[in-house]
C-alpha cells in the first residue's frame, strides 16, 4: 500500500501496514493522489502546481512528467489495461492519456469547480466528483463528460466503483453518500445516520461490501449494498480521509490527520499503526523530511529520524517548559527556548543538550536562526536576545517596546522580523542594532510571522482570527481574517502564494492566493488544543 501527503511525503508498506518506509520522490510539494496498476509496478502520484510523478519499478524510483498545467491536481486513476488514464484538479481540469502516460491531452469538462477524485472503470468509462455537488460521467473515453444530477450541493471527495462498473458510491460533506447501480447514470442518496463530512470510499468487488471514512474518526460499513450502514470503532480521535479495504472486505486501512494510520484485519475494529506519542507538545522543527524535533511541557524533547514512524525522547537537561525550537538542516545543530529565559542547544543531533547562558529570566516564546551562528529569541516585556556565535553568548537588543513578543523570523544575518502584543511588528536590517516599528491596522496580539523565500510575501497571524499580509517585503501590511473566528498560533509559507495556518479548536487553514482567501482543512484534536509547525 501507499500513502501520500504534505511536503512530498510518500510512504509504502509491504507487510499489510505493520511497518511503513519513506520513499524519496525528490519533490517537496504537497501530494494529493496516488494510483498503482495491477502488479504494483507502474504507479502515479499527483499534487500541487501540476506535479505528476511516475514509476515503472514499483516505486523504487520516480520521474517527473510534464503535463503542461500548473494547477493543483487532486486525483489520478488508470483503467485496468494501464493505457487509458485521467488526471483531475482545480478549476475543472481534466487530462487524459491513451498511451500509459507518455503524453497527456486536456479534455473539456462542463464545470469550473475543483475536481477532487476520479475512478476509471475501463478505457471508455470513468466518473469524476468535485466541489458543489459536481459529478461527471463519460462512456467514450472522455470525449464528452456529462454532468449527473445527484441532488446535493455538498462537496464530493471520493468515488469508487466495483470492477464491473455497475455499482458505485460517491461520498462528501454533510454525511452525503450517493449510490448508483447502472454505471453512474442515476444516483440516489443513501441514509447513513451521520452528518459528518465523508472523505473516502472503497467498494468491494461483490457490490455489497463498502467502507466510508470521514471527519471525527468516522468509519462506516455496509454489507448489503448500502441499504444499511453501521458505524465502526476507529480507535482514534483524528479525522480520517482515505480508506482501502481488500476485495473480500475483511482487511483494510484508513488514514487521517496527524500521521494517523489505522489497520483492521476483520474490517470491523480499527487500531493505530504504529504506536503514537501522547506527550503534551508545543512546537516542532524539521531538519529534513526524515529528521525532526518536538518540544513541550516540562522540558520534553522528542526526535525522529524516520519521518515520524517512531519518536525517541531525549534528555534536555531541564524541567522548564520549552516553547520554541529551531533545528538546522544538518540535523545536528539545534536550539530550544522557553520559560525563565531558558535556551538549550545541541551540536550532536540531540544526544546531548547543554544550557546556554542568557541575560534574562523572562519567558521566551519565539526562536529562529538565519544560519548556524546568527539567531534571535524573543519573549516577555519586549525581550529580544541576539547571538552571533551559535548561542555561546546571547546579548539583549533594544526593540523600543515593552510589549510581549511571541514570534520571530530570521531572514538572514542582518534581517529579522518580530511580532507581538497589540499588533506589534518590528524589523531590523542591520543585525538588530536598530529596530523599526511597522504600522499595522490591528491592535490584536500577533503570535507568529513568516516570509516567502524571496522575502516579498509575508503573513502574520494572531488572536481573534487576525491575519496580516504583506506583498512588498513588509513595508506595508493589510489586515484581514480567515472567517473562522479562531485565534491563530502558527504560520508557514511554502511559496509566495501558498501558506498554512493553525490555531484553536483544531483549526487548520491554507491559502493558495497569498492570503486573499482561506480554505479550512478538517482536523479534530481535543477542543482548546493548539497545533504548531
Domain boundaries of the chain, sorted by first residue: 1-139, 277-356
Residue 388 in this model has a pLDDT that exceeds 90: yes
Strand partners, 20: none
Q: Which of 118-132, 249-263, 349-363, 392-406 has the lowest average pLDDT?
A: 249-263
Q: Please say whether the structural domain 277-356 has been given the CATH code 2.30.30.
A: no
Cα(506)–Cα(263) distance, integer angstroms: 24
Q: Specify the 3-state DSSP secondary structure of 369.
A: strand
Place 310 in a pLDDT band, splitting at 50, 70 and 90: low
User: Residue 140 pLDDT > 60, yes or no?
Assistant: yes
b/e per residue 321-344 (b: at least 16 CB within 10 A): bbbbbbbbeebbbbbbbbbebbbb
Write the CATH number of the domain with boundaries 1-139.
2.120.10.10
Residue 30 has phi, psi (to 5 degrees) of -70, 135
Q: Where are the beta strands (DSSP E) in 436-524?
A: 436-437, 446-451, 458-462, 466-470, 478-480, 488-493, 499-503, 508-511, 519-520
> Which residues lie across from 214 on neighbouring strands?
198, 218
From 108, 101, 153, select the one nearest 129 (Cα to Cα): 153
Judge whether residue 165 has pLDDT over 70. yes
> In which band, very low, low, confident or very high, does the pLDDT at 506 lie, cut at 50, 70 and 90?
very low
**What percent of the chain is predicted at pLDDT more than 90?**
49
In this structure, of 211-215, 285-289, 338-342, 418-422, the range with the lowest mean pLDDT score is: 285-289
Work out the angle at residue 307's Cα, subtended by the Cα atoms of residues 303 and 313, and round it to the nearest 5 degrees: 15
Strands annotated E in 49-161: 52-55, 63-64, 73-78, 85-89, 93-97, 105-106, 115-120, 126-130, 135-138, 146-147, 156-161
The bridge status of strand 425-428 relative to strand 334-338 is unpaired
How many angstroms separate the Cα of 471 from the Cα of each of 27, 459, 466, 512, 516? 26, 9, 17, 14, 11
Grid coordinates representing 175 are 454525511
Of 521, 410, 417, 423, nearest in space to 468 by CA: 423
The gap from C-alpha 245 to its chain's centroid, in whole angstroms, comes to: 24
What's the rounded Cα separation, in Å, for the pair 429 and 507?
Answer: 33
Q: Which residues of 292-308 are buried (b: 16+ CB within 10 A; e: fewer)?
A: bbbbbbebbbbbbbebb
What integer is the mean pLDDT of 398-417? Answer: 94
pLDDT at 308 over 80: no
Q: Which residues contact 168 (CB under 8 A, 6 or more apart)?
A: 119, 127, 159, 160, 161, 162, 179, 180, 183, 184, 203
Among the listed residues 503, 492, 510, 509, the one whose alpha carbon sits nearest the alpha carbon of residue 525 = 503
Question: Shortest CA distance to 251 belongs to which of 265, 269, 272, 233?
Answer: 265
Measured distance between the N- and C-terminal CA atoms of the chain, rounded to whole angstroms: 28
Local structure of 10: helix, strand or coil: strand
Q: How far apart are CA 192 and CA 227, in angstroms?
A: 9
What is the C-alpha separation between 530 and 426, in angstroms, rounded? Answer: 25
DSSP string, 299-356: G-EEEESSTTS--EEE--S--S-EEEEEE-TTSS-EEEEEGGG-EEEESSTTSS-EE-
pTM: 0.50
In terms of phi and psi (left: phi > 0; alpha: psi -120 to 50; beta: otherwise), the region of 82 is: left
Phi and psi of 225, rounded to 5°?
75, 15
3-state secondary structure of 42: coil
> 134 or 253: which carries more pLDDT confidence?
134
Gap between the Cα atoms of 380 and 406, Å rounded: 8
Could you tell me which residue, 517 or 242, shows the higher pLDDT?
Answer: 517
What is the residue-averaged pLDDT of the chain? Answer: 83
In sequence order, which residues have a C-beta less than 8 Å from that of residue 153 and are 6 or more positions away?
A: 132, 133
Amino acid at each position: 500500500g501507499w500513502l501520500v501527503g504534505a511536503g512530498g511525503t510518500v510512504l509504502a508498506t509491504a507487510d499489510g501496514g505493520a511497518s511503513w518506509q519513506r520513499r524519496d520522490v525528490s519533490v517537496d510539494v504537497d501530494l494529493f493522489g496516488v494510483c498503482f496498476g495491477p502488479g504494483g509496478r507502474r504507479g502515479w502520484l499527483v499534487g500541487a502546481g501540476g506535479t505528476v510523478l511516475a514509476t515503472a519499478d514499483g516505486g523504487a524510483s520516480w520521474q517527473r512528467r510534464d503535463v503542461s498545467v500548473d494547477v493543483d491536481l487532486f486525483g489520478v486513476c488508470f483503467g485496468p489495461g494501464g493505457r487509458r488514464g485521467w488526471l483531475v484538479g482545480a478549476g475543472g481540469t481534466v487530462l487524459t492519456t491513451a498511451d500509459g502516460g507518455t503524453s497527456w491531452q486536456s479534455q473539456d469538462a462542463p464545470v469550473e469547480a475543483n475536481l477532487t477524485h476520479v475512478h476509471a472503470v475501463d478505457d471508455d468509462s470513468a466518473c469524476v466528483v468535485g466541489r458543489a455537488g459536481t459529478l461527471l460521467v463519460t462512456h467514450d473515453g472522455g470525449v464528452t463528460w456529462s454532468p449527473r444530477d445527484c441532488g446535493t450541493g455538498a462537496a464530493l471527495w471520493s468515488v469508487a466503483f466495483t470492477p464491473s462498473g455497475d455499482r458505485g458510491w460517491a461520498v462528501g460533506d454533510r454525511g452525503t453518500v450517493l449510490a448508483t447501480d447502472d454505471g453512474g447514470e442515476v444516483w440516489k442518496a443513501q441514509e447513513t445516520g451521520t452528518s459528518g463530512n465523508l472523505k473516502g470510499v472503497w467498494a468491494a468487488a461483490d457490490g455489497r461490501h463498502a467502507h466510508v471514512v470521514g471527519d471525527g474518526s468516522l468509519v462506516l460499513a455496509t454489507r448489503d449494498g448500502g441499504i444499511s450502514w453501521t458505524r465502526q470503532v476507529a480507535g482514534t480521535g483524528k479525522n480520517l480521509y482515505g480508506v482501502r479495504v481488500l476485495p473480500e472486505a475483511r482487511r483494510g486501512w484508513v488514514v487521517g490527520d496527524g500521521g494517523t494510520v489505522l489497520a483492521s484485519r476483520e474490517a470491523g475494529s480499527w487500531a493505530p499503526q504504529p504506536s503514537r506519542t501522547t506527550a503534551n507538545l508545543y512546537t516542532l522543527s524539521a531538519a529534513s523530511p526524515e529528521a525532526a524535533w518536538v518540544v513541550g511541557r516540562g522540558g520534553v524533547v522528542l526526535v525522529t529520524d524516520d519521518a515520524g514512524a517512531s519518536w525517541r525522547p531525549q534528555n534536555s537537561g531541564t524541567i522548564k517548559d520549552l516553547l520554541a525550537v529551531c533545528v538546522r538542516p544538518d540535523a545536528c545543530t539545534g536550539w530550544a527556548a522557553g520559560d525563565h529565559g531558558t535556551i538549550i542547544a545541541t551540536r550532536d543531533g540531540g544526544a546531548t543538550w547543554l544550557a546556554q547562558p542568557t541575560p534574562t529570566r523572562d519567558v521566551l516564546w519565539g526562536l529562529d536562526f538565519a544560519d548556524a551562528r546568527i539567531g534571535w529569541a524573543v519573549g516577555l516585556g519586549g525581550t529580544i536576545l541576539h547571538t552571533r556565535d551559535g548561542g555561546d553568548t546571547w546579548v539583549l537588543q533594544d526593540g523600543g517596546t515593552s510589549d510581549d513578543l511571541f514570534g520571530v523570523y530570521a531572514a538572514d544575518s542582518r534581517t529579522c522580523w518580530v511580532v507581538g502584543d497589540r499588533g506589534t511588528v518590528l524589523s531590523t536590517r542591520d543585525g538588530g542594532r536598530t529596530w523599526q516599528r511597522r504600522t499595522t491596522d490591528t491592535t490584536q496580539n500577533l503570535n507568529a510571522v513568516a516570509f516567502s523565500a524571496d522575502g516579498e510575501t509575508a503573513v502574520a497571524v494572531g488572536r481573534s482570527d487576525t491575519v496580516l499580509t504583506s506583498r512588498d517585503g513588509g513595508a506595508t501590511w493589510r489586515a484581514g481574517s480567515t472567517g473562522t473566528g479562531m485565534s491563530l498560533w502558527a504560520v508557514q509559507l511554502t511559496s509566495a502564494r501558498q501558506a498554512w495556518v493553525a490555531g484553536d479548536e483544531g483549526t487548520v487553514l491554507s491559502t493558495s492566493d497569498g492570503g486573499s482567501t482561506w480554505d479550512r482543512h478538517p482536523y479534530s484534536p481535543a477542543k482548546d488544543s493548539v497545533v504548531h509547525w
